Amino acid sequence: MLKETNLYSAAEKPDIKRLQLIARRIRLNIIQMVGVGQRGHLGGSCSIADVVTALYFSKMRHDPANPSWADRDRFLLSKGHAALVQYSALAECGYFPREEMLKVKRCGSMLQGHPDLKSTPGIEANTGSLGQGLSIACGIAAGLRIDGRNSRVYCVIGDGELDEGQIWEAAMAASAFKLDNLVAILDCNGLQAMGRVIERFNTNPLPEKWRAFGWHVLEIDGHNMNSIIGALDEVDGIIGKPKMIIARTIKGAGISFAENRVEFHNGQLDRAQFEAACASLAADPYVSERNDR
Amino acid sequence: MGIQNPREVYGRTLVEMGRENPNIVVLEADLGKSTMSCYFEQAFPERFFEMGIAEANMTSFAAGLSLTGKIPFTNSFAVFAAGRAFDQIRQGICIPGLNVRIVGSSCGLSDFGDGSTHQSVEDIAIMRAIPNMTVLVPADGNETRVMTRAMADYSGPVYMRITRNDLPDVMPENAPFAIGKPHLIRQGGDVVAFANGQMVSAALAAAEILKADGIDLRVVNVSSMKPVDKAAIASLADGMKGIITAEEHSLIGGLASLIQEVFQGRCVPMKAIGIEDRFGQSAHS
């Protein structure tokens, strides 16, 4: 059931080109928030930028003018250190003025280093102590079900975050309670803070694990907008189990010099890098080419 | 004077509240026959969540339920409720100030058979240190009932620890209960004892012994550890020759610490009775 005032889910057929352009803008905002000479979680924000774009600008039912609309779909960023991507999307949707973006992490800012529901319109939960967001998402999904609401709960988790035991507690709970209004998206960018996931603390094999925990599992290219939209639509039809979309992504995607580079997990940009990234995102069709293939 | 089991009272009160308020939901970590959440499970299975032996997930899951307008009560032993789920309480519940009620059962040394692993000597210290958290310690069955009801209506996160043992009634039945207020339960002109939990009845028993020695002990039940009306605490010590604190908790971070915080800067003779800086042990006999 769509709400008339919702700007972002009105399109009956998603306009992929439009979404790709928005994703590029989302990345540009991320770069601007990271700025020059300051640390920021650029890599993990960019890896999930296309999924976040698809959710906020096509899939989810939400209303920026009424963030607490009871029938909205919910989005939780369990890997809360990637808050920049969510702030970017929320600002583009109009949850708060764009000027707020550039005040991110400043003292007194509405945009904290990690998502804070009391500070920022559109944030659903306090996440970022890793491993907790999926459990909170489960609780929201269970509460919505008690109330008989059709809202869906989307929760992005990171592949490094899978180290946390609580993720697997939540994985068991979601399937024990048959939370089919819950969709988790795994940002599988292959890098955690100290290096490659398979070298630091190998949590593979992932599809097998999630299936064994009772989830419906899909694997997609997390930068292909058609695949993302297709997967999000496909899982709507799955009844009786929680859904896991494993999005194979590239850390730092869309910022050529940062791609697959662990130092940009929480890295700094120098002036030249900053300008190069801004220029390429403003002009270069790089991201949409990737999405077209 | 009656004797009641606070866990039993708590379990029955949850059912009463569940009947009145459809938003009350209850979560349990496989200890329902000890915490007495089993009564709620029988009465309202659709609003009861068996979360398994997974306290971290239970606690964050409760945060999620509260975000949909539910009033969740999580149940486990105090040592796990406050200890194992500390980070979940801090990050997901207390920072945003969510309406989650965390009930730590079999608190203090009351799980006497199971030993140090199951005896919570520091749960109040942990919970009291978290900003936005409210910390409650009922002294008997009567107070457990009114406190449990007050928790449901309160805004923000609440931790309540309740003992495993039967306790003699020290508070009147259905007395009005306001979070934050200390309760004067025995007048006395010489020395004041600030106590909570099962040490309130112990303090009353001590008062009878001291009476024979000509010492008139005032007894105050500090069942609200946080927030607490510090002015009321201070005035209850007016004219007293000394202060005693009595708690079933470590002397670090609990009631002794709280009273010292209230009286800091003043010269008052003080004696703290509680658990020295150590763990418990099994004590079946």
Is A28 in CB contact (< 8 Å) with chain B? no
**B50 vs chain A: nearest CA distance in angstroms?**
9
For A166, nearest residue in chain B (alpha carbons): B57
> Measured between alpha carbons, how far apart are the two ends of chain A, in Å?
33
Say whether A143 and B64 touch across the interface (CB within 8 A): yes
CA dist., res. A234 & res. A232, Å (int): 6
75-104 in chain B: CB under 8 A from chain A: 87-88, 90-92, 95-97
Say whether A136 and B49 touch across the interface (CB within 8 A): no
Q: For residue A287, is pLDDT > 50?
A: no
Backbone angle region of A220, left / alpha / beta, with phi > 0 → left and psi within -120 to 50 → alpha: beta
pLDDT-based confidence at A12, cuts 50/70/90? low
Q: State both tokens at A243.
A: 């859904």
Is the overall model pTM greater than 0.80, yes or no? yes
For B90, nearest residue in chain A (alpha carbons): A129
**B88 vs chain A: nearest CA distance in angstroms?**
7
CA dist., res. B200 & res. A182, Å (int): 47
Write down the pLDDT at residue A236: 97
Is A293 in CB contact (< 8 Å) with chain B? no
On chain A, the residues whose CB falls within 8 A of the CB of B72 are 139
8 Å CB contact between A138 and A170: yes
Is B45 in CB contact (< 8 Å) with chain A? no
Residue A277: closest CA among A44, A106, A36: A36
Say whether A169 and B57 touch across the interface (CB within 8 A): yes
Digitized pLDDT (tens) for each residue of chain B, 285 residues in all = 799 999 999 999 999 999 999 999 999 999 999 999 999 999 999 999 999 999 999 999 999 999 999 999 999 999 999 999 999 999 999 999 999 999 999 999 999 999 999 999 999 999 999 999 999 999 999 999 999 999 999 999 999 999 999 999 999 999 999 999 999 999 999 999 999 999 999 999 999 999 999 999 999 999 999 999 999 999 999 999 999 999 999 999 999 999 999 999 999 999 999 999 999 999 987
Say whether A170 and B60 touch across the interface (CB within 8 A): yes
Cis omega (within 30 of 0) on the bond before A205? yes
On chain A, the residues whose CB falls within 8 A of the CB of B68 are 139-140, 143-144, 146-147
Which helix (H) or strand (E) element contains residue B56? Answer: helix B55-66
Spatial neighbors of A285 by CB under 8 A, at least 6 apart, are none
CA dist., res. B118 & res. B107, Å (int): 8
**Residue B80 DSSP code:** I
Question: What is the dihedral angle through the alpha carbons of A258, A259, A265, A267, rounded to the nearest 10 degrees?
Answer: 0
CA dist., res. B206 & res. B231, Å (int): 26
**Which pLDDT tens digit goes with each residue over B114-163?**
999 999 999 999 999 999 999 999 999 999 999 999 999 999 999 999 99
Say whether B62 and A176 touch across the interface (CB within 8 A): no
45-104 in chain A: CB under 8 A from chain B: none
Residue B123: closest CA among B284, B282, B275: B275
Which residues are bridge partners to A196 per DSSP?
A191
Cβ of B86: how many Cβ atoms within 10 Å? 18
For residue B234, how far is the Cα from the chain centroid?
21
**ipTM for this model:** 0.96
Backbone phi, psi, residue A21, to 5°: -65, -40
Cα–Cα distances in angstroms (integers) from residue B237 to residues A25, A285, B189, B268, in the given order: 65, 75, 10, 9
Mean of the per-residue pLDDT values for chain A? Answer: 92
Cα dihedral across residues A219, A222, A227, A233: positive or negative: positive
Spatial neighbors of A249 by CB under 8 A, at least 6 apart, are A47, A48, A51, A187, A188, A189, A222, A223
Backbone phi, psi, residue A252, to 5°: 80, 15
**B42 vs chain A: nearest CA distance in angstroms?**
17
